[in-house]
């Protein structure tokens, strides 16, 4: 299925707009996933299936849930081999991009798309809304993990060659001023900082927030030292914001992005990790 290339992003096939969703949402080859934390019952894109991003994270082990759990979640949502999966949230959050990252890690690379502007863009365009939960025809899908899409704590401690750690939390978290519930505040030694939400543009007259254009995003990331020939390791508190940056870097053409899934929830609460303030 051909996906409209949005703007001039190198990987614009990872992004769709309202018009594409309207034209393709009834196709049996397209599965819509609503990843919003709330609001599904009050109204969603017709045919969209609710998916809780938290169901894809094992918080007790600082990692993904098992492949069997992911397989079950996807199949119960109607996903099968060969389908195009379109994920949306409200357009300003991290849930859709979190689902995007997890699905790519579990083998659906280049099969998952995001709706630019999310549900807000759909509603603002005056498109049809539904309060009905669709009947799902369960799919069958093969799952396989990609070790090159994630970094674990031990690899960071050993030292990653030709790589850069990218802390995408708030500046207060990065400096340790805001410790949250962690044992220690600060950041991983050597990590540079760029908050995840800086990739979002301003809201338009209808309150819709979309991603910044390619040229702006590329210049902003290059200005902090990111290069295409490096391994980029984004991290945040629980790898929701880090997953958002993963998506953005994928969209603008970076080829080696490996989020730290354990994130600060692991690093900041472990006895034998080095913390810098």
Domains and CATH numbers, the chain: 12-124 (3.40.250.10), 147-276 (3.40.250.10)
Report the distance separating Cα 210 and Cα 120, nearest Å: 10
Instruction: Give me the pLDDT at residue 6, please.
Output: 64
Q: Are 64 and 152 in contact (CB under 8 A)?
A: no
Q: Are 114 and 97 in contact (CB under 8 A)?
A: yes
Q: 237 pLDDT exceeds 50?
A: yes
Query: 157-190: per-residue pLDDT in tens?
Result: 999 999 999 999 999 999 999 999 999 999 999 9
Bigger pLDDT: 3 vs 44: 44
Residue 67: which pLDDT band, with cuts at 50, 70 and 90? very high
Instruction: Give me the pLDDT at residue 59, please.
Output: 86
Report the distance separating Cα 39 and Cα 130, nearest Å: 11
Per the confidence metrics, is the pTM higher than 0.95? yes
Instruction: Give me the pLDDT at residue 4, please.
Output: 40
Q: 203 pLDDT exceeds 90?
A: yes
* pLDDT, the chain, mean: 96
Q: What is the mean pLDDT of residues 130-143?
A: 96
Residue 233: which pLDDT band, with cuts at 50, 70 and 90? very high
Report the distance separating Cα 163 and Cα 181, nearest Å: 29
- The separation between the first and the last C-alpha atoms of the chain, rounded to the nearest angstrom, is 48
Instruction: Give me the pLDDT at residue 7, please.
Output: 62
Q: Where are the beta strands (DSSP E) in the chain?
A: 15-16, 30-34, 49-50, 57-58, 63-64, 84-88, 112-115, 163-167, 187-188, 192-193, 231-235, 275-276
Report the distance separating Cα 90 and Cα 174, nearest Å: 26
Report the distance separating Cα 63 and Cα 38, nearest Å: 24
Q: What single DSSP character describes residue 4? A: P
Report the distance separating Cα 87 and Cα 31, nearest Å: 8
Distances (CA, A) of 95 to 74, 101, 256: 16, 10, 22
């Amino acid at each position: 299925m051909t996906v409209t290339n949005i703007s001039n992003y190198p990987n614009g096939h990872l992004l769709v707009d309202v018009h594409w969703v309207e034209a393709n949402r009834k196709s049996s080859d397209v599965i819509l996933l609503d990843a919003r934390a709330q609001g599904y019952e009050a109204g969603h894109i017709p045919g969209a299936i609710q998916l809780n991003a938290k169901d894809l994270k094992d918080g007790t082990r600082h990692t993904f849930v098992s492949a069997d759990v992911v397989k079950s979640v996807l199949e119960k949502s109607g996903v099968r081999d060969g389908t195009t999966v379109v994920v949306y949230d409200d357009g300003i959050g991290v849930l859709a991009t979190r689902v995007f990252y997890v699905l790519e890690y579990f083998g659906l690379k280049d099969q998952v798309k995001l709706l630019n502007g999310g549900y807000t863009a759909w509603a603002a365009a005056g498109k049809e809304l539904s309060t009905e939960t669709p009947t799902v025809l369960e799919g069958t899908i093969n799952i396989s993990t990609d070790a090159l899409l994630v970094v674990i704590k031990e690899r960071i401690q050993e030292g990653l060659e030709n790589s850069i750690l990218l802390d995408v939390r708030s500046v207060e978290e990065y400096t340790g001023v805001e410790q949250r519930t962690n044992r220690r505040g600060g950041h991983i030694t050597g990590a540079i900082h760029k908050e995840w939400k800086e990739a979002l543009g301003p809201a338009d007259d209808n309150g819709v927030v979309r991603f910044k254009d390619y040229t702006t995003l590329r210049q902003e990331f290059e200005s902090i030292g990111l290069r295409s020939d490096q391994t980029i390791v984004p991290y945040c508190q629980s790898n929701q914001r880090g997953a958002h940056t993963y998506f953005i870097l994928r969209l603008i053409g970076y080829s080696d992005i490996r989020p730290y899934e354990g994130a600060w929830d692991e690093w900041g609460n472990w006895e034998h990790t080095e913390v810098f303030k």
